[in-house]
Structure 1
Amino acid sequence: MFVLELTYTAPLDRIEAVLGEHIAWLREHYEAGTFLASGRKVPRDGGIILAAGEDRAAIEEITRTDPFTRAGLADYTVTEFLATTTAPALDAYRQQLPS
């Protein structure tokens, strides 16, 4: 499991100009089953995405396809963690510690 934290590197008016493309990109990854939750940070200086996956390189590649990244408007920090405890709605994403 991964926490993707994006931080805006441009003013909000430039973010707003690309927001529709970013939302379409998010929808694509929700439909693929990779993204589980997302939203704006408060204060609005970026966002957070909760992503399912086992391959860090693949997740990092996804962040490079974000329209915000391609336009030079945001940077990503990718944090990998093992989701060993989940709410019942996320049972399918529960992970085991390596032996």
Structure 2
Amino acid sequence: MFVLELTYTAPIEAVDAVLEAHVAWLDEQYARGHFLASGRKTPRRRGDPGRRGDRARIEEIASTDPFVAAGVCAYRITEFYATKTAPELERYRETPD
């Protein structure tokens, strides 16, 4: 499992100009089964979409974010194993290699 932490690299006005396209991109990724959760941090500086898949694929997906194309964010990708979860998320539990 991967967590993608995005950091805005441009003024919030530039981010807002691309926000609608970014939200449509998020919807597309959920529809494809790539995302489990996403959201905005408070204060509004970063978001953390949780994603599944292999690292190369996740990097490829992140590169298609309109925020990246517009140069308003950078992603930090962190892999982790969800070895313990709430019962509702049991199907996402993983065992480290």
TM-score > 0.5 by shorter chain: yes
Number of the residue aligned with 2:69: 70
Q: Give me the whole-angstrom Cα distance separating, in 1, the residues matched to 2:17 and 2:9.
A: 14
1:47-86 paired onto structure 2 within 5 Å:
47-53=47-53, 55-86=54-85
Q: What secondary structure does 1:75 align onto?
A: strand
Which structure features the higher share of strand residues?
A: 1
Which amino acid in the other structure matches residue 40 of structure 1? R
RMSD of Structure 2 on Structure 1 (CA): 0.9
Q: What secondary structure does 2:18 align onto?
A: helix
How far the C-alpha of 1:12 sits from its partner, in A, is 0.9
Q: What secondary structure does 1:40 align onto?
A: coil
Identity of aligned residues (%): 59
How far the C-alpha of 1:97 sits from its partner, in A, is 2.3
Moved more, 36-45 or 64-73: 36-45
Unaligned runs of 5+ in 2: none
Residues 52 and 93, structure 1, Cα contact 8 Å, conserved in 2: no
Over 6 Å off, 4+ runs:
none
Q: Deviations over 1:61-86 (max 9, x none)?
A: 11100000011000000000011111
In the superposition, the TM-score normalised over structure 1's length comes to 0.93
